[in-house]
Structure 1
Amino acid sequence: MASNNNNELYTGNMSTQGGSNSSINETDNTGFIGINVPLLSNDTIRQIREKRFSMIKPWSDFFDKNRISRPKDFSDITKRVSHNVVYFQANYLVIVLILLVYIMITNLLLLLSVVVIGAGFYYVSKMPANEPVSFFGGRFVADQKKLYIILGILSLILLYLSSGGSALFWIVGVSSTIILIHASFLEPSIESEFAETV
């Protein structure tokens, strides 16, 4: 009787441990090729968005014509750029997003590719991490890691066909030019310099 009780306790502990492990596996989001990358939940995205957009400075301050002047020398340019890039970082992010929306609207193939890639990664992320899934009536079986690899290759092909590389270089080039010109010619305000020192 004692041995039976011990066996029941042992099996009970094993089942509870297995249950805890299964619950851990359910909440464990295994990322690309086995690297644990926590997926961004809606709450996390909302918090990041609220925090980032709460840092946006008034656009009247961003486009203040009274503070636009030619920099004296290279050291003055360096001082202005280092200050304005930090102070107006959220405003510059909005400009980059506007350019991103513009390039998507003018290149519908790129927009379609981004939507398909995003939907594919979202679908794969919701699949069980360690359970193979069959496609095409069982003729193709793959787990989450293999699907991430296939999806990554297909994403590169789609972005190449839709001129994603040139679009990326265009966004980086145009946004960098706008930011550098604005940050170089806008004098830091007294309020912004005081806010940085506090």
Structure 2
Amino acid sequence: MEALLKVTDTLRSIRETKLSGMRPASEFFDYQRLSRPADMNQATSRISYNTRYFSGNYLLIVALLAIYAVIMNYLLLFSLAFLVGGFALINKFAPEATQVGDHTITQKHLYAGLFVIGIPMFLWAGPFGTFFSIVFCSALAIFVHASLLEPGVESDYAAVQDSV
């Protein structure tokens, strides 16, 4: 129960800090401001500005791509559910040792069995390929969007405000 409270507190703090800065979809998908950058310097400055300005939107894109990638990899989804569910079930239903015939099964034995089965299954599911596909797709989407979208008028005022 305590771990669940920590997770909800962490999610709440992420929502308050990162996702509170999300820009409206009309501004994020403003196709009238799309243009090809003239040179690499302009593309770099656009990427620098837009990644800060749309950081909440980009974080949401990364999260959605991660959820999609895990859902589409059924074996990875099953192995994660097996490990997390097994851990939760062991904590809930087996806090004390159980006698089975001549053997005493402790929580440590159950965890060992869970990990002996779950970790190879997890590694066989290809988490590294999924991770790198999420990183590549996210980076591609973010860099393309950030380099093609012209900064708004507020970017000129941000430069003036930073110098003051």
Q: TM-score range by the shorter chain?
A: 0.7 to 0.9
Q: Secondary structure at 1:57's aligned position in 2?
A: coil
- C-alpha root-mean-square deviation of aligned residues, in Å? 3.2
1:36-73 C-alpha deviation (Å, 9 max, x unpaired): xxx82533432322332211111111111121111111
Whole-Å separation in 2 of the counterparts to 1:47 and 1:193? 30
User: Are the counterparts in 2 of residues 87 and 192 from structure 1 also a CA contact under 8 Å?
Assistant: no
Give the partner amino acid of 2:59: L
Task: Indicate the structure (1 or 2) with the bigger Cα radius of gyration.
Answer: 1
Which structure: greater helix fraction? 2
In structure 1, runs of 5+ residues without a counterpart are 1-26, 30-38
Partner of 2:30: 64
Whole-Å separation in 2 of the counterparts to 1:174 and 1:92? 12
Partner of 2:127: 164
Shift in CA distance, 153/94, structure 1 to aligned 2, threshold 3 Å:
farther
TM-score normalised to structure 1 length:
0.62
Aligned length: 154
Higher relative contact order (CA 8 A, sep 6+): 2
Whole-Å separation in 2 of the counterparts to 1:55 and 1:118? 32
Whole-Å separation in 2 of the counterparts to 1:176 and 1:159? 25
Matched, 1:75 2:37: no
Whole-Å separation in 2 of the counterparts to 1:122 and 1:88? 37
Q: How many angstroms does 1:118 deviate by?
A: 3.3
Whole-Å separation in 1 of the counterparts to 2:151 and 2:157? 10
% identity of equivalent residues: 36
Q: How many angstroms does 1:158 deviate by?
A: 3.0
Whole-Å separation in 1 of the counterparts to 2:118 and 2:157? 46
Matched, 1:89 2:52: no
Matched, 1:40 2:3: no
